[in-house]
Homo-oligomer: A and B are copies of this chain.
Amino acid sequence: MTATLVDRIGLLVRNADDDGLPDELPGAAVVIEDGRIAWIGRAAGAPDADARIDADGRCVVPGFVDSHTHLVFAGDRSAEFEARMAGRPYTAGGIRTTVAATRAASDEALLARATGLVAEARRGGTTTIEIKSGYGLTVEDEARALRLAATLTPETTLLGAHVVPPEHAHDPEGYVDLVVGPMLTACAPHARWIDVFCDRGAFTVDQAERILVAGRDAGLGLRLHAAQLAPSPAVRLAVELGAASVDHCTHLEQADVDALAGGTTVATLLPGAEFSTRSPYPDARRLLDAGGTVALASDCNPGSSFTTSMSFCIALAVREMGMTPREALHAATAGGAAALRRDDVGVLRIGARADLLLLDAPSYVHLAYRPGVPLVTVL
């Protein structure tokens, strides 16, 4: 077993302070052994190691935890994006376009695309990533998406209830029967989570509840897309069911904020979607001030947010959502970990996974202060 010392860290951000060390530690060092943090502390007291990386005064932060992506897909919707930005009507787009392209694609093509995007995300600092299905919408195609996703990450999510597919357009309840029946049976072995897109034009709150309860009974953890387009009681449903995360939360009523602050469900905000759909951003400040836990994620998908960049999400959160740079970094790391109910990532302490990002900057503030600039190296 080889021990690597990451030495002369100008500022180490840990997302932890209950182990005798401060959350932000200047003049720090970390020893990595077997992919875990074996030692952490002041550089002056660092032990010997087999190899040494000199951080040269730069800032080190935990790897980003991107808890919301849709990476198993085929096709391109840049023309739809361009029309939307120009305010032009565009009828050939929408999730159904991606569903048709995904169904028609080979396993190899889907895996190559997803693998490329995971690699791109990693170059941008994402060391833990969640991937949803949701562009298959048949038993076989959803199971295939999850089987492929599971080769890339343990954080896989069945989103069979992304949208009602065209062949069930006149029988949405029949489609829900399919999701909670044969689809769930076929997909559960490849999934850790179940999710529903509960919003205007997608699934109702009652349908979402039925699907989430069935998923829970099948041993899956719960997540929910809600309140992206309009306020919805789905946010409170997620909290009541003890979902790990409710995602988007763009339109919240006070009762939603109160519920999130009082429960264990993380509010996962996805500013890339608001950027790329030219929509109003969620009010992170309100959630944080109420005591809620906030995560930031990319929502990477070809329709509404085709970015893998968590740094970009951090910059938007600071510019548009009332978060401080420190809060935004926390949300993109420990917040994402909480949204995945993980305690081994998003934090730098002894025993945690050694997912360290070396920033080409003296401080994490630069993630927002230097927007668009790639500052991250994964150690």
Contact = CB atoms under 8 A, between A and B. Distances in A.
A123 B372 CA distance: 12
A115 interface: no
A325 interface: yes
A120 to B, nearest CB: 7
A34 B363 CA distance: 42
A78 B309 contact: no
Nearest to A79: B365
A236 B306 CA distance: 41
A81 B272 contact: no
A276 B82 contact: no
A311 B325 CA distance: 22
Given A82-B324, A319-B278, A272 B371 contact: yes
A374 B369 CA distance: 17
Interface in A313-357: 313, 315, 318-319, 324-325
B307 A373 contact: yes
B278 A370 contact: no
Given A78-B363, A369-B306, A372-B311, A85 B319 contact: yes
Contacts of A373: 120, 124, 307-309, 312
Nearest to A85: B318
Contacts of A363: 78
A39 interface: no
A209 to B, nearest CB: 35
Nearest to A328: B85
A362 B79 CA distance: 12
Contacts of A92: none
B319 A275 contact: yes
B85 A307 contact: no
A366 interface: yes
Contacts of A324: 82, 85-86
A368 interface: yes
A76 B59 CA distance: 14
Interface in A98-137: 120, 123-124
B307 A82 contact: no
Given A76-B362, A363-B78, A371 B85 contact: no
A372 B31 CA distance: 31
Contacts of A315: 275, 372
B309 A368 contact: no
A373 B308 CA distance: 7
A330 to B, nearest CB: 15
A276 B316 CA distance: 10
Contacts of A318: 85
A275 B325 contact: no
Nearest to A375: B120
7 closest residue pairs by CB, A with B = A312-B372, A309-B372, A78-B365, A81-B369, A78-B369, A307-B372, A306-B370
Interface of A: 76, 78-79, 81-82, 85-86, 120, 123-124, 272, 275-276, 278, 306-309, 311-313, 315, 318-319, 324-325, 362-363, 365-366, 368-374
13 contacts: A78-B362, A78-B363, A81-B368, A85-B324, A124-B372, A272-B372, A306-B366, A307-B372, A307-B373, A308-B373, A309-B371, A312-B373, A313-B372
Given A272-B372, A306-B369, 14 more contacts: A78-B365, A78-B366, A81-B368, A82-B365, A82-B369, A85-B324, A123-B374, A124-B372, A124-B373, A275-B371, A276-B369, A307-B371, A308-B373, A312-B372
